[in-house]
Structure 1
Amino acid sequence: MALSKPRVPDPVQNEPVIGQHYLVCGSEGCEKNCLFYCNPCHRQMCEQCRDEHQKSPDTKKHEVVPYRQRKRQLPVEKCKDHPTKDIDMICEDCQVQVCSKCVIQDHQKHTLNDLETIFSEKFTLCLDEIYKIHQYFLPTSHDIQEDIKDNFKEIKATIDKIRTSIKAKAESLKRLVDTVASDEIERVNKMEESLEERLKSQDKTYQDYISYLEELVREFNGYLSSTKVHSNPLILSQPDQLKIKPIPKTIIPVPPVFNAGQYSKEDVSKLLGRVTAPDTKPENRKIKPMETASTQLKPTEQQRIQNREKSDVKRTLSLSSSVTKVREYTVPDVSSVYHISLGKAGRLWASDSKGNLVKTDLQGNQLQKIQTNGGYGYHIVTHDGDLIYTDRKNKVINTITLNNTITEFNKTVDWEPISIHSSHINGDILVGMIKDGEAKVTRYNKKGKEIQNIQSDNKGQGLYSDPHYITENINGDVCTSDYKKHAVVVVNKSGQHRFSYTGQGSQFNPFGICTDLLGHILVCSSPLFLMSGDSTVYLLDQHGQFLFLILTEQLRFYLGLCVADENNLHVGQYNTNTVTVYKYLQ
């Protein structure tokens, strides 16, 4: 199966120029892996065909190089002045592209360069730049976008706290004003009571004096009405007895005066406090340099040594320009390979739709078999090497330890568990579940305690319909293959929806899904109900950007995927127990 012709990058989708199928020898009738390339013939070949090519008298002097060092074939363009000749050189002095006749006529003493060599170098440079964009510039820019989103949240949280503080301070000032006003009113009330007491005393003084005058009038009238001279008090009274006491003197009380306080809005602002711009100079966002750009796991102490080794490997890994078939092996006692779970020491588990779950080595030797209820992505090997799988019928999650003991991990009560994944970041267990038309992903810790439910986006809309395969990326994203939604649904580790990938135009029917050490998302899409149609394996970056199709076959229906420790892709198929291993990283 030959590579499809390299394509010019699509300015809309920004696709990289890269092969879509695994590379085979270009010799007629030979289907071995292509490893070499003849630059003069522009022919790809296996090792055996390379040896024959170099032994032939006609081609023994041809430049045969490793495939990745090949010269790209120059597009054919005829010379305008000499229509029978191809343009294949460039005149450095005139800076024009010329053919051999042009050289003889006009450029004999000029500096000439091979146009094919220049084209190949520039072509390779373009590929390198596209690779850098997808491997560094796009991911780094997406990471900065995520930082900006976090900044949005941080700023909003800080401003909300400031609003709350302002309102609380204002309420405190209001309470203080009310307290001061209450104290002043109480003082005024006491002043009023004192003045009233004084006025009441004065009133009583005059009431007593009026009573005295009235009594004096009655007494004087008695003197005037007496008919007896010898006993008339008027005649016998002393001079002082007829003298009237003076009117009592009293003081006019002076009421208190309210001296209104003098204050301004500025005074109130000083009491309340002010929001000011920070004195700190804002820093430039840190952009990680290209040579150290990589998404790192946050390991536990137990994983640090292993992750350092992976990190060393990761720095040397990159996407290959071709996909190479490494080997094939069969899994005994399964009718199809719906799902693959990678174990330790080259061991893996594979299952079909009939409930057959088989443990095998990489040579296809059966090591263990158990009967389950079947399904799709319903089993996974944990970091400790145990197999954990869902029992959809009984709504239970079971664990098979290394000594083959089956224990119950957890009950899912009313929910049917249909897919499962064990996090290699922290050991959490992620389970896709369905119930009465609803679907969710539940996170458990290693002890089986439920710690998170992911079900809806920030608008309250359901994220899932049929999450039948599930995995986790190196940045903690939860990636779910949802058959009914025809989408790969990705949320971050907090459960917030990041993106949904729905294919490249044609109907997208996702099955097996996995991720690799570089954060790529690999997902296979097969025809609806596994009938006729295209079957493909998509490669996405961790932000949902389509990179390219790894495999494209009409006669094979891809179902199960996993990336093994040697960074090779294991692909299971429908209606056969064959697993094919491909190398797509170098």
Structure 2
Amino acid sequence: MRLYGPSKIAEQCRLHPAKEISTYCIDCQVPCCATCQVQKHQKHHISTIEDAYLSAENRLNDNVKELEKDVLPTIDQMADKTKKERSEKRVHIDRVREEVNTFRKELKEAVDESCDYLIEKLEHDETELDNLITKLNVQKGKIRELIKEVNEIIQKGDLSMIKYSPPSPSTFIPEVPTPRSTIPVFSPGRDILSIIKDRIGTVEWIEINSESRLPPTSQEQQSPPPEQQPQPELPLPPLPELLPPHSHQYYRYQNYNHQNYHHRHYQNYYHHQNYHHRHHNNNHNNN
């Protein structure tokens, strides 16, 4: 049913089309005609349709006032705090981003250096094989020269052949290096990728101030507690998936391969934050 206000605009009952809606069952929260009231709502709390409309209008107006008076200012306050916090965190985010990129560069250089060493080792072995081939060709040339010289002496057929004593062929064998029957095989470091992912470092959120609690709404202030005994105050949880926790936080970057550098960097920043925190507490106590 649609409510058109206290001005009497007739609307027919859905269960009894011949009857006009004239009352409202408070218990069942449904509009009724005279027949409905007699058949199904005899012992229920009944009000006129005008009173039900005015009650609903007042309730909705109260909700609108509550939203305008308490909820919207609270959301605006949260938004302002979040914008300010984001501006403050931007400095730390930029610093941590620079540290991560620096470590990425150092890690890449270390990986490149290790891989270059492996490539150089392969190239060195390849160069050794090339040198071996060169030495074999040199020995091969010496043997051919010796063969040519012996053949020329044989062809002369004079006394020089009797006196000539060529070097023994076995003297050439020790000078020929023996090639190694091996092939290169690459064996990647065991679980190196998982180790790098585990030890490359972390980015963490560090609390440096207690969470701020939103002020209670006027409805919460007027509502009595369920028990007369005072209840401990609980911090208001942050809105899920909308806003971050309302507290000053900053990034800490932890690098396991560069602990000394980052430890000094984080220590200096931590002392700096402690100074501002103590300064804020002193001002608060003086006030």
TM over 0.5: no
TM-score (normalised: structure 1): 0.23
Higher relative contact order, chain-length normalized (CA < 8 Å, sep 6+) = 2
- Higher fraction of strand: 1
**Length-normalised TM-score, structure 2:** 0.39
